[in-house]
Amino acid sequence: MFNNEMKLEFISKSSNEAFARIAVAAFASQLDPTIEELADIKTAVSEAVTNSIIHGYDKKQGVVKISAWLKSNEIIIEISDKGKGIENIEQAKEPLYTTKPNLERSGMGFTIMENFMDNMEVESVVGLGTKVTMSKKINTKTENEEDEFKMLMTTNT
C-alpha cells in the first residue's frame, strides 16, 4: 500500500528536464530526506528524463511520463516514454557507452542512476519505448541522528 502518489506528463523538451527534477524532489520532500538524498534523487531523475528526451525521441517531440509513489520511507519513481526503445539494454548500461558520441554526453546515465538510487530497472521494447523504475529508501531522522552521533563519537575518540 502506498502512502501517496503523483503523476506528471510533459513534452520531450530539454527545458522540461529541470521541471521534472524539481517536481519529483518536491514530492520526495514529504519523506524528509537529507540534502544528499534529495540530490541523489534529483540527479537520477535528471539522467532518466534526459535519456528519454535525447535518445528516446531523438529530435522528435513526444511525451515523457513520471509516476512516483511514497511507501513508508521509500520513494519509487517510474520514468517512461513512447520513443524508439533500446535495442540492447545491457550494452546501454555499460559505463561510457553512448549512441550519441557527437554530443557532450558521457554515456554514464544508467551508471549514475544505479549508483545514486538503491534499485534501478530498465524495460524497453524497440519501437514502443522505455521505462526506467528506480527506488530509494530515505533514512528516518532518528537513523540520521544516530549515524551522526556515531560519527561524532568515532572522530572525538
For the chain, domains (ranges, CATH) are 4-155 (3.30.565.10)
Q: Identify the band that residue 103 occupies on the pLDDT scale cut at 50, 70 and 90.
A: low
Pairing of strands 129-137, 119-125: antiparallel
Mind telling me the catalytic residues?
A: 47, 51, 105
**Residues 59-81: tens digit of each pLDDT:** 899 999 999 999 999 999 999 99
Instruction: Please check the confidence at residue 90 and state whether its pLDDT lies above 90.
Output: no
Q: Which residues contact 58 (CB under 8 A, 6 or more apart)?
A: 83, 84
Distance CA 63, CA 53 (A): 9
Q: Tell me the pLDDT band of 143, cut-offs 50, 70 and 90.
A: low
CA pair distance 73, 54, nearest whole angstrom: 32
**List of residues 6+ apart from 139 with CB closer than 8 A:** 34, 37, 73, 147
If pLDDT is split at 50, 70 and 90, which confidence band does 104 have? low
| Confidence at residue 94, expressed as pLDDT on a 0 to 100 scale | 78
